[in-house]
Structure 1
């Protein structure tokens, strides 16, 4: 049940309050909201009278929210953002539902995107909206229904659907491989490339070979795509997922820097919040993904 009307200020009043809190003055809020300064003042007075609480402290030319009002406006800001996102979802797909999915760039581009056409064919009523996030986030603060997660089951408060294991191998440009040897310890002295979301990947890889390695340094990248290009141009040796380097091997732009077996450093999961009812679009996507993963090989 929704709270009584007397506890629900108008959206106009909440927008005015949020803008004043963020911008610090009625004139700035009025300019952003395309209102007059007096209209902003009326909205603020209206919400104070409705709630019976003083919300604004006036200090020379700036307006400040009281401590209690600052906490209140954070909740109001989140509610306004959720309402705006819901409106965008409705506008994007007025005949059905939409799924806001957070993806990892390389996995989303090379594994998920080629398969989404099948989901779209089977579920034309669902619009999938993709946005990139490189690290776990708060589902309360971010407008996502689900996310692709890499690593371990270390994201609190979510459900997990395992998608696939990721196996990595060291790769380099052919010219750099002239320094290679049959033992992986040659890589200790090679220029190593690192992904900032996996800062200890090389240490884990060396440990899998029975080699202790600490304090490894080298160029740092935020995405696999740029690291692959740097590797192709001979800037160093990179640990790359096997599903990303097949074409580069075929073209001769990259080769294994060592002939040992790939190493698993983590898994991909679909995750979604435990404390939220599962929407119909998410249920359809999860069922499709599960069917894709359990289908016999073609």
Structure 2
């Protein structure tokens, strides 16, 4: 069945006119005559059967329907442009579109991609943040870096490193080292994606967790590190994600114990893309960097 779609030219003319609320400015932007823009929009209004503009003495004004449709059309045209640029970039073969948890990307992965001694030559890695599992068939991602259960259906998981979080805080809050009982008396920052982290950590030390675990609750490791640096409490964070703060003295490790059974970072690759040369190159480079960082 033929899809009921208006012409791309009509949509472009409408989007520009809606953004400017001016046929004249839309014509200038698109290098068309004002009459051509008027005809394109008239054909679009006839196609959808709804007035998109009110013609007034000094120009045009969007109708309510036109304003809603303009937002939708702008979003779809932007998506088409992004997809077109992405497929053009893939012509060279050296592109990986990666979903990644945000703090790992900014604190560990990006510095290695940027540094002359560790970068992956000839490969462009595009990144977008995802904190939870998803279906690759519903996205354009080639791979994902995720911390948690690596058993995604239809994928291969490649181990990178354990999280091994340890208690860190600002020197202004407490001086270390401290044992678990002393840490229990301090304000404990909670991570919403790891709600049992502190209870598990205290259990592994043999010290009862404090009864009140209602500390400030944050989602990302980057939020925890900032809150801990500002003296709001103690956070459980993998040291490699806060190495800068540790080196600068804004954070220090209160206790080196990380506890058993912690999460691990994995590279998740859909099976249907496992043989793509760019993904193989990125996989091998990433695993090598992880091994080098962990000393294995």
Equivalent of 1:206 in 194, 202, 205: 202
Alignment size in residue pairs: 277
Higher strand share: 1
Q: Which residue of 2 aligns with 1:258?
A: 255
Counterpart residue number, 2:83:
85
After superposition, the CA RMSD in angstroms is: 4.9
Normalising to structure 2: TM-score of the pair? Answer: 0.65
Displacement over 4 Å in runs of 4+: 81-84, 117-121, 178-181, 212-215, 259-264, 293-298
Deviation track 1:249-274 (CA, whole Å, cap 9, x = no partner) reads: 33332223335466662111100113
Report the Cα offset of residue 129 of structure 1: 0.5
1:271 aligned counterpart, secondary structure:
strand
Partner of 1:107: 104
Counterpart mapping for 1:39-188 below 5 A: 85=83, 87-91=85-89, 94-116=91-113, 123-124=121-122, 126-177=123-174, 182=179, 184-188=180-184
Conservation of the 8 A alpha-carbon contact between 1:168 and 1:263: no
In the alignment, what sits opposite 1:225? 222
User: CA separation in 1, counterparts of 2:250 and 2:153?
Assistant: 40
Partner of 1:249: 246
Q: Separation in 2 of the partners of 1:202 and 1:251?
A: 26
Distance in 1 between residues matched to 2:140 and 2:280, nearest whole Å: 17
Counterpart in 2 of 1:285?
A: 282
User: Secondary structure, in 3 states, of the residue corresponding to 2:266?
Assistant: strand
Q: Deviations over 1:41-79 (max 9, x none)?
A: xxxxxxxxxxxxxxxxxxxxxxxxxxxxxxxxxxxxxxx
Output the CA distance in 2 between the equivalents of 1:146 and 1:262. 29
Distance 1:208 1:82, change over 3 A: farther
Q: Which residue of 2 aligns with 1:73?
A: none
Cα distance, 1:259–1:165 mapped onto 2, change above 3 Å: closer
Task: Using structure 1 for the length normalisation, give the TM-score.
Answer: 0.64
Structure 1 residues 297 and 207: alpha-carbon distance in aligned structure 2, compared to 1, 3 A threshold: closer
